[in-house]
Structure 1
Amino acid sequence: MTKLVLLGGGHAQLFVLEAFARQRPDADIRLITPDALTPYSGMLPGVLAGHYRTRQACIDLRPLAERAGCQLMLGRAIGIDSTHRRITLAGGEVIDYDLLSIDTGSTPQRPDIPGAAEYAQPVKPIADLLARCALATPRAVSVLGGGAAGVEVVMALHHRWPAAHCTLIERGATPLGGLGERLQRSIGAELARQHIDVVTGAAVTRIDANAIRLDTGRTVGSDFTVLATGAAAPDWLRDSGLALDARGFIEVGATLQSTSHPEVFAAGDVATLSASPRSKSGVYAVRAGPPLAANIARVLAGQPPLDWRAQRHALMLLACGRRHAIAARGGWVLKGDWVWRWKDAIDRGFVRRFDPQADSETAAG
């Protein structure tokens, strides 16, 4: 019987489990993931802001795996030997596979800045950030990185701690660089409305317990600093033998199979489509789910996998801390409280699809 290992419980992998729950393949299936509760990225800014409890933004993999006839194993990968088809876990276990699907997500990009390790908290893992938030009553908050994650996090923390002075620091010329002028203007107006300072065109040279030093000579007060500086590939991929892109992510073709090892599938942030790279976004991970599930099932059935073409433009829904959101796709931008309610319905619907028992009551605040 084919040994199929699902490594990671990311968004795309959920569709694989859902498909197997409908029709179980003739395979020995194992899901390996660090935690039975997998967070849904779309709701995490709402958790930081206080609109949701943590459990509402997580999907319990245990009942989903049971319905799929899949053995759930809690563990974290630290190495893959693609030649011998083996996975090594942090606990020392070595797992063999015939077919492997990887959806572990990315890791935070940790800038080489003095003081960052001691005084700055990465956005991921979200559990660590939430734990630190629970113990903090900061007077000055700074978020480093002006991408989508950075702008959502700084507004969420502003909503959480309205008395704190909040600053967004972006090395480039503007937050959300490259995502369109209309969206940049809308986000800029919202940040200004919330009196969140935006510092652009400056690199951080040092992070201290109560301040951030910039290469412009400016010092920004901050006793709670968050890193939202982008996605990096997991270190353990380097010696895997799998074909990787220039940034260290798994290179896959249109079938979502490794370009070097067809018995390995990969999707979500850990993978890069070789012919048409897309941004590291939960939207594309979700879109990759159905073709990933279909192609794994086809390979298990002895059929050739089918090509998938990722959409070029995806809907972006940005939470603005308060119950207000901005939607953008292509050249159009919409904003309002009603956009937040729309986003809220989409997010809750996604979680309930895979975890019908998820608590759907809104948290106070």
Structure 2
Amino acid sequence: MPTIITNSSNGAHPHELILIGGGHTHVLLLRKLSKNPLRGVRMTMVSDFECAAYSGMLPGHISGFYQQAELLIDLRHLCRLANVQFIHAKACGMNLKQKQVLLDGSAEPLAADLVSINVGGISCTEGVEGAKSWAIPAKPVPCLLKGWASTMAAARNSTGRLQIILVGGGAGGVELALAMRSRLAHAEFTIIHSEPCLLPGHNSRARHIVHNLLLERNVAAITEAKVVEVMPDSVRLDDGQLLAADFVFWVTQAVPPAWLGESGLDITREGFIRVKPTLQAINHPWIFAAGDAASIENRKLPRSGVFAVRMAKPLEHNLRAYLAGRLLKDYKPQRHSLSLIGTADGRAIASYSDLAARSAFFWWLKNWIDQRFMRQFQ
């Protein structure tokens, strides 16, 4: 049964606002609302996790730089501060005609005048035989943390060299590989990536730095290859090659939960909610979406926490404007964003537009940014 925390409040509540998911946009929204509440609105957050993990600090935790508690945001506490009801349950759908949010189990549907969706993606293993049984998904984060704990335990008890494979060579996969390597010096690491080069979406200088760093750390990379089968002790590639594997981490691009499309929302081919620049769902102006769940029409944005964080301010403005019957504003993302990739050695790679470099200063900067973000919720 879902666990519900309610906060007392006097007066009528003519509007019901439901926040689905505890992603980066929503936690910042709650922080803003704790300082400047919405009047005449009863708010509810639905999340299947009681704590939200800040993804920016995850590789730092894997490498031993942060304790697990340092990257977790207590959603219950945050909801109390913002006078928001918290329901610990998994959203599984929406009834668009009746304006209801459906929950797993026997819980009653939640009536809503207004909905905001900021659910995290899940690692997509569809079409890969054995992946759901044997691969460790990078998302949701609790699955990754549990899998990493099992890997560390196996390394302590093993007399041989563990074979560890990471499927996905984007920034997330590379950063995780370097973080894991820093803790398991005697394991064998291989990154398998379907595209011609690692770090797609980054400039050639950043890719060159990563290429040399992986060689230096003895992390193998196989590009233009796909894993088509995962077995208890190996993986099979699309060219028939078998690779030994004690642990397989699935770090490919995450996809939204299937219920978004199944509910009748307009979605992209990949399953993201199609939204206007105001962050309103196409054809459903009472539904907003942000972060990894959303795809803004005619704008291709990287799936990055940087953009999710910066959506909080326009989302807050537009929720207030919608409720007050005022004009909404478009979210205008920055043209370029700074990407900081930790290298698990007290340094980080900074990638911006056509520029890239690696230094201790960039790790200091990344740590300062991440710590500043988390201090808002402590």
Give TM-score scaled by structure 1 length: 0.93
Match of 1:6 in 2: 19
Match of 1:360 in 2: none
Structure 2 unaligned blocks of 5 or more = 1-13, 156-161
Deviations 1:254-278 (A, max 9, x none): 1111111000110000000012121
Identify the match of residue 117 of structure 2 among 102, 109, 129: 102
Match of 2:42 in 1: 28
State yes or no: 1:268 paired with 2:255.
no
SS in 2 for 1:163: coil
> 1:217 offset after TM fit, Å?
4.1
Match of 2:64 in 1: 50
SS in 1 for 2:267: coil
Match of 1:184 in 2: 207
Greater relative contact order structure (CA < 8 Å, 6+ sep) = 1
Taking the aligned partners of 2:314 and 2:187, their CA distance within structure 1 comes to 45
Taking the aligned partners of 1:342 and 1:142, their CA distance within structure 2 comes to 30
SS in 1 for 2:347: strand
> 1:346 offset after TM fit, Å?
0.6
> 1:281 offset after TM fit, Å?
1.3
Identify the match of residue 250 of structure 2 among 223, 227, 231: 227
Match of 1:359 in 2: none
Taking the aligned partners of 2:238 and 2:286, their CA distance within structure 1 comes to 47
Greater shift in the superposed pair: 1-10 or 135-144: 135-144
Greater shift in the superposed pair: 326-335 or 109-118: 109-118
Identify the match of residue 59 of structure 1 among 73, 80, 87: 73
Match of 2:332 in 1: 309
> 1:114 offset after TM fit, Å?
2.1
Structure 1 unaligned blocks of 5 or more = 357-365
SS in 1 for 2:349: strand
Greater shift in the superposed pair: 57-66 or 287-296: 57-66
Deviations 1:58-79 (A, max 9, x none): 1112232122111111111111
| Amino acid aligned to 2:20 | L
SS in 1 for 2:119: coil
Match of 1:241 in 2: 264
Say whether the 8 Å CA contact 2:170–2:199 is kept in structure 1: yes
Match of 2:323 in 1: 300
State yes or no: 1:76 paired with 2:99.
no
Match of 1:334 in 2: 357
Identify the match of residue 130 of structure 2 among 80, 95, 115: 115
Give TM-score scaled by structure 2 length: 0.90
> 1:215 offset after TM fit, Å?
2.9
Percent identity over the alignment is: 33
Matches within 5 A, 1:186-225: 186-225=209-248
Match of 1:320 in 2: 343
Taking the aligned partners of 1:167 and 1:238, their CA distance within structure 2 comes to 35
> 1:279 offset after TM fit, Å?
1.7
Say whether the 8 Å CA contact 1:15–1:293 is kept in structure 2: no
Taking the aligned partners of 2:229 and 2:266, their CA distance within structure 1 comes to 35
Match of 1:361 in 2: none
| Amino acid aligned to 2:24 | H
Matches within 5 A, 1:136-175: 136=151, 137-138=154-155, 139-175=162-198
SS in 2 for 1:216: coil
SS in 1 for 2:262: coil
Match of 2:4 in 1: none
Say whether the 8 Å CA contact 1:291–1:308 is kept in structure 2: yes
Deviations 1:132-177 (A, max 9, x none): 2223335111101111111111111111211101111111111112
| Amino acid aligned to 1:73 | I
Taking the aligned partners of 2:167 and 2:142, their CA distance within structure 1 comes to 19
Taking the aligned partners of 1:205 and 1:88, their CA distance within structure 2 comes to 34
| Amino acid aligned to 1:182 | R
> 1:320 offset after TM fit, Å?
1.6
Taking the aligned partners of 1:171 and 1:54, their CA distance within structure 2 comes to 31
Match of 1:290 in 2: 313
> 1:249 offset after TM fit, Å?
0.9
Identify the match of residue 100 of structure 2 among 64, 86, 90: 86
